[in-house]
């Protein structure tokens, strides 16, 4: 009998400090009207002195509690982040100690596609029997690498964390996943530092990213559904990377998925990179929209570019 990797717990956390569009318009030449219309974002949460590990710890404890799993039962921790606490050791090992786990733990860096890459990696461990309970985290403090004087990026990003506990199960879980990378898009989105200079800032050609995101993610979703002999109408929920409402609605329109079936949380927290999908998932699970047996499609794209999608039964 096929063994599935099934999500048995979700958790999320946003740091308490909030920066609204109106707050931003006091320091840069922008407005709530422009940001809301072009992105759908109303506010973002910003760390004061918390690290990616600190944010993750709260999200993880919520996920473990829902899963009814103790940290010492975990077989593996995969921590997706672009903003690790230190160059080394891996933030995953800091978290391992903070929650009282003893299993192997490593970081995975795939920017906004980080959670999709981490969850797909975790699934392989479960399918092969190498692990049975895995903690998968997306946690970011992107505010540290945003140039707060650059109105083309400062309006978009925020801090936060999301986590899931994945377990081996006879019940259906992850059904299909696909990952892609294409390093030729380097100049469209990057942090221009080389570890020798100081930390750099996010540099982005927004228009270019927008078009690539819509095209790649729409085609990928169509491919995923075709390969599973499914149609978009069979999806209960799409849980997309929360980057821009116009990207999300363009993809939903192309797939003919009504927006009522799309989980959108970005108004509250902006683009939290690797944290955005598990954050949105946790919100919709806890408010009762997503229920056991629902079919979900995750999809995300980020710098590199790297992108991917996961189809699963929750
Ligand atoms: O996870 C992946 C991360 N990145 C993304 O998802 C970003 C994807 N791209 C986007 O979300 C959009 O491209 C943006 C929201 C970044 C920009 O929206 P846009 O509709 O593509 O605007 P634009 O870059 O074409 O700029 C339109 C105008 C320009 O002025 P002019 O040249 O028409 O006079 C910009 O200078 O808006 C101006 N502008 C702003 N105005 C007010 C750019 N940023 C701002 C701003 N406030 N914050």
Cα gap 19→268, rounded to integer Å? 10
Cα gap 114→108, rounded to integer Å? 7
Span 135-153, mean pLDDT? 96
The set of residues, in sequence order, having a beta carbon less than 8 Å from that of 90 and lying 6+ positions away, is 79, 84, 105, 106, 107
pLDDT of residue 195: 63
pLDDT of residue 196: 56
Structure tokens at 35: 């940001």
Residue of 21, 62, 241, 244 marked active site: 241
Examine domains 4-169 and 174-313 and report if their fold is the same: yes
Does an H or E element contain 297, and which?
strand 295-302
- Domain 174-313 class, CATH top level: alpha beta
For residues 24 and 193, the model is more confident at 24
Own/partner pairs, 288-292, CB within 8 angstroms, 24+ separation: 289/237, 289/263, 290/236, 290/237, 290/239, 290/263, 290/314
Look at the domain 4-169 and name its fold.
Answer: Peroxisomal Thiolase; Chain A, domain 1 (3.40.47)
Per-residue pLDDT of 68-98, as tens digits, reads 999 999 999 999 999 999 999 999 999 999 9
Is 241 part of the annotated catalytic residue set?
yes
* Domain definitions of the chain by residue range: 4-169, 174-313
| DSSP annotation string for 56-120 | HHHHHHHHHHHHT--GGG-SEEEEE-SS-SSSSS-HHHHHHHHHT--S-EEEE--GGGHHHHHHH
Residue of 45, 53, 62, 112 marked active site: 112
Nearest to 138 by CA among 155, 163, 171: 163
Per-residue pLDDT of 215-265, as tens digits, reads 999 999 999 999 999 999 999 999 999 999 999 999 999 999 999 999 999
pLDDT of residue 198: 63
Per-residue pLDDT of 8-50, as tens digits, reads 999 999 999 999 999 999 999 999 999 999 999 999 999 999 9
Please identify, by atom number, the ligand 1 atom nearest to the C-alpha of residue 244. Answer: 11
Is 112 part of the annotated catalytic residue set?
yes
Span 153-159, mean pLDDT? 98
Is 45 part of the annotated catalytic residue set?
no
Return the number of other C-beta atoms located less than 10 Å from residue 284's C-beta.
21
pLDDT of residue 194: 65
Q: Does position 193 have pLDDT exceeding 90, yes or no?
A: no
Ligand 1 pocket: which of 36, 210, 240 to mutate (most atoms within 8 A of CB): 210
Average pLDDT value over all residues in the chain = 96
């Amino acid at each position: 009998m096929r063994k599935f990797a099934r999500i048995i717990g979700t958790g999320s956390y946003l740091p308490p400090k909030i920066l609204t569009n109106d707050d931003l318009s006091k320091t840069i030449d922008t407005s709530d009207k422009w940001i809301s219309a072009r992105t759908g974002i109303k506010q973002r949460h910003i760390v004061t002195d918390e690290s990616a590990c600190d944010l993750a710890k709260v999200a993880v404890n919520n996920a473990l509690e829902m899963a009814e799993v103790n940290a010492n039962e975990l077989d593996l921790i995969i921590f997706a982040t672009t903003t690790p606490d230190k160059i080394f050791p891996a933030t995953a090992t800091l978290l391992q100690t903070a929650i009282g786990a003893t299993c192997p733990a490593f970081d995975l860096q795939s920017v906004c596609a980080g959670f999709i890459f981490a969850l797909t990696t975790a699934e392989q461990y479960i399918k092969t029997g190498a692990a049975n309970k895995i903690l998968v985290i997306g946690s970011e403090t992107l505010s540290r690498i945003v140039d707060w004087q650059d109105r083309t990026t400062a309006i978009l990003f925020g801090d936060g964390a999301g986590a899931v506990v994945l377990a081996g199960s006879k019940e259906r879980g992850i059904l299909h996943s696909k990952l892609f990378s294409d390093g030729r898009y380097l100049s469209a989105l990057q942090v221009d530092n080389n570890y020798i200079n100081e930390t750099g800032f996010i540099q982005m050609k927004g228009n270019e990213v927008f078009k690539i995101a819509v095209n790649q993610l729409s085609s990928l979703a169509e491919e995923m559904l075709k390969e599973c002999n499914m149609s978009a109408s069979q999806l209960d929920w799409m849980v997309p990377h929360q980057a821009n409402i116009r990207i999300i609605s363009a993809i939903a329109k192309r797939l003919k998925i009504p927006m009522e079936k799309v989980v959108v949380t970005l108004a509250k927290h902006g683009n939290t990179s690797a944290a955005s999908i598990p954050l949105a998932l946790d919100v919709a699970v806890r408010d009762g929209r997503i229920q056991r047996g629902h079919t979900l499609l995750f999809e995300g794209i980020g710098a590199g570019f790297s992108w991917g999608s996961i189809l699963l039964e929750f």
